[in-house]
């Protein structure tokens, strides 16, 4: 498998105690407390960023973000692992570097959790008892507000957005049965919901739109490729939950990557179009049996498992001759998970977040003879997502070997500082590490260097597959100065 993938995670933040401030100020304090930020503080290059461009062919009204230099540095921390750590609205946010396969993506997303944990540790030291930060990798404050987890996939521009949308809507609405993080209660319905599969499902109101914060759509139309716009589009997926489980994240991005590859290569899944996708995403989230049916546009009703099996069958046929081990593993896990969900979801208490959390909470309720409305149960829901290792309930399950994983602590530690080797993130991250005082600014598609004569030189990175270690590693290693690097790149 070779598919450019990245994720953006907005983290929930709480500051308790005398030093409480507004969420934006707290988020900036936290981001600027990360102890391994680059001392030279390069700018983030906003020049080519325009989140107002719509894939339907127009530009929405609004102001593009263009912070001044000092505020830019407060908001943004380009990382030596090729990622970006920054403040987005009222939240600290971590974007992984561009990864070239789903396992690599899981590694760099987990590295982001450790970056946030270090930030919490050092922010609390700086507060010196005035207040204590807590940070959560979840999607809701349980007060009617949601914050995002966004997946990004590089897609061939020749595939029409209309085709992508029609093919993906049934898949995205139903995949929550194995990608949901689980949630106690409901944010938008008055009826009592003890527990549901997805943290995000409550918040989707329309089918297709550009918004990400109000009237959230199942398909987001942002057309901001961060790459050559004639060749690529970046599919910006906002419908997923932030996951703690390595296996859940792996399946989430892995199955999505396979489905996108199928669409790019001409294979379609037909007959699964939903009659009312916005209603279906909520109904599926509330069905812990995963067996209830939703209505299709052709007049029949299918379960989420049945719809997912249509995509799986198409993928198995499409990749039948593919020997890539990650592709084979994703297909096998996908089928096994669907089989177990159909038989009994409780078989997945080691792999799938919503089942892991449900089992944990129900065990607690049985021991303490309490119900779903008990405040301790709501707290457990939140604590499952705490990024501090000795506080987060998910990490406690990891330490007790109660959940399946495939990453090692050593690999996660290395990924906090070293970029992926197979994408342009290698060039960005390695230059930030080797020439920290000479990088004036960086973005996903550019690195700008200060030169001896005072001229800013821009190196464009419009193809995410280029700038990898194989192509530029020897050049960066040979160059002793930025001038030598630029000369070698030009030659």
Question: Does some domain include residue 233?
Answer: no
Tokens matching residue 2: 């070779």
Mean pLDDT estimate for the chain: 95
Task: Indicate which residues carry an active-site annotation.
Answer: 88
Question: Does some domain include residue 480?
Answer: yes
What distance in Å separates the CA atoms of residue 347 and residue 345, rounded to the nearest whole number? 5
**Residues whose CB is less than 8 angstroms from the CB of residue 127 and which lie 6 or more positions away in sequence, other chains included:** 17, 19, 133
Counting the structural domains of the chain, the total is 1
pTM of this structure: 0.96
Question: Does some domain include residue 359?
Answer: no
Question: Does some domain include residue 470?
Answer: yes
**Residues whose CB is less than 8 angstroms from the CB of residue 264 and which lie 6 or more positions away in sequence, other chains included:** 155, 156, 159
Buried b (16+ CB within 10 A) or exposed e, 11-39: bbbebeeebeeebeebbbbbbbbbebbbe
Question: Does some domain include residue 478?
Answer: yes
pLDDT tens-place string over residues 384-434: 999 999 999 999 999 999 999 999 999 999 999 999 999 999 999 999 999
Question: Does some domain include residue 451?
Answer: yes
Q: What are the helix (H) ranges across 226-352?
A: 246-264, 277-285, 304-318, 325-343
Helix (H) or strand (E) holding 84: strand 84-88
- How confident is the model at residue 63, as a pLDDT? 83
What distance in Å separates the CA atoms of residue 339 and residue 344, rounded to the nearest whole number? 8
- How confident is the model at residue 212, as a pLDDT? 81
What distance in Å separates the CA atoms of residue 80 and residue 62, rounded to the nearest whole number? 32
Of 449, 441, 450, 462, the closest CA to residue 44 belongs to 441
Residuewise pLDDT in 10s, the chain (491 residues) = 689 999 999 999 999 987 778 899 999 999 999 999 887 789 999 998 888 888 998 888 888 888 999 999 999 999 999 999 999 989 999 999 999 999 999 999 999 999 999 999 999 999 887 789 999 999 998 888 899 899 999 999 999 999 999 999 999 999 999 999 999 999 876 678 999 999 999 999 999 998 887 789 999 999 999 999 999 999 999 999 999 999 999 999 999 999 999 999 999 999 999 999 999 999 999 999 999 999 999 999 999 999 999 999 999 999 999 999 999 999 999 999 999 999 999 999 999 999 999 999 999 999 999 999 999 999 999 999 999 999 999 999 999 999 999 999 999 999 999 999 999 999 999 999 999 999 999 999 999 999 988 899 999 999 999 999 999 999 999 999 999 999 999 98
What distance in Å separates the CA atoms of residue 233 and residue 224, rounded to the nearest whole number? 7
What distance in Å separates the CA atoms of residue 30 and residue 264, rounded to the nearest whole number? 41
For 141, other C-beta atoms within 10 Å of its C-beta total 15
Question: Does some domain include residue 476?
Answer: yes
What distance in Å separates the CA atoms of residue 219 and residue 208, rounded to the nearest whole number? 5
For 89, other C-beta atoms within 10 Å of its C-beta total 12
Residue range(s) defining the domain that contains residue 457 = 414-490
- How confident is the model at residue 379, as a pLDDT? 96
Question: Does some domain include residue 471?
Answer: yes
- How confident is the model at residue 211, as a pLDDT? 85
């Amino acid at each position: 498998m070779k598919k450019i993938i990245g994720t953006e995670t907005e983290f929930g933040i709480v500051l308790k105690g005398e030093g409480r401030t507004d969420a934006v100020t707290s988020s900036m304090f936290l981001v600027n407390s990360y102890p391994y930020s680059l001392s030279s503080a390069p700018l983030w290059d906003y020049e080519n960023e325009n989140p107002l461009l719509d894939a339907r062919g127009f530009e929405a009204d609004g102001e593009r973000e263009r912070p001044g230099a000092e505020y830019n540095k407060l908001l943004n921390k380009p990382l030596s692992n090729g990622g970006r750590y920054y403040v987005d609205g009222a939240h600290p946010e971590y974007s992984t570097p561009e990864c070239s396969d789903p396992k690599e993506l899981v590694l760099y997303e987990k590295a982001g959790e450790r970056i946030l944990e270090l930030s919490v540790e050092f922010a609390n030291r700086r507060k010196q008892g005035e207040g204590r930060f807590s940070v959560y990798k979840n999607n809701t404050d349980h007060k009617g507000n949601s914050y995002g987890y966004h997946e990004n996939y590089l897609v061939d521009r020749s595939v029409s957005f209309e085709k992508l949308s029609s093919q993906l809507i049934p898949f995205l609405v139903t995949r929550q049965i194995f990608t949901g993080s689980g949630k106690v209660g409901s944010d938008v319905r008055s009826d009592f919901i003890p527990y549901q599969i997805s943290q995000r499902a409550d918040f989707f109101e329309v089918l297709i739109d550009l918004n990400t914060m109000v009237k959230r759509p199942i398909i987001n139309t942002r057309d901001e490729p961060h790459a050559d716009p004639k060749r690529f589009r970046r599919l910006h997926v906002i419908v997923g939950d932030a996951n703690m489980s390595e296996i859940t994240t792996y399946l989430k991005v892995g199955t999505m990557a396979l489905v996108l590859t199928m669409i790019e290569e001409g294979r379609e899944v037909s007959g699964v179009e939903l009659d009312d996708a916005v209603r279906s995403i909520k109904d599926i989230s509330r069905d812990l049996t995963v067996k209830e049916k939703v209505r299709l546009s052709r007049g029949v009703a299918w379960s989420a498992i049945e719809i997912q099996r249509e995509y799986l069958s198409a993928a198995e046929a499409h990749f039948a001759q593919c020997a890539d081990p990650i592709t084979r593993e994703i297909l096998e896990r996908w089928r096994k998970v669907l089989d177990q969900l159909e038989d009994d979801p409780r078989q997945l208490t080691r792999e799938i977040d919503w089942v892991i959390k449900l089992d944990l909470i129900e065990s607690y309720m049985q021991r303490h003879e309490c119900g779903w409305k008990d405040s301790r149960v709501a707290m457990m829901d939140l604590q499952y997502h705490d990024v501090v290792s000795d506080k987060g309930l998910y990490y406690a399950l990891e330490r007790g070997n109660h959940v399946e994983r495939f990453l090692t602590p050593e690999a996660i530690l290395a990924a906090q500082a070293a970029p992926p080797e197979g994408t342009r993130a290698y060039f960005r991250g390695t230059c930030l590490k080797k020439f920290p005082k000479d990088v004036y600014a960086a973005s996903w598609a550019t690195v700008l260097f200060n030169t001896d004569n005072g001229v800013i030189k821009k190196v464009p990175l419009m193809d995410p597959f280029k700038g990898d270690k194989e192509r530029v590693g020897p050049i960066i290693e040979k160059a002793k100065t930025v001038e030598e690097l630029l000369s070698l790149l030009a030659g």
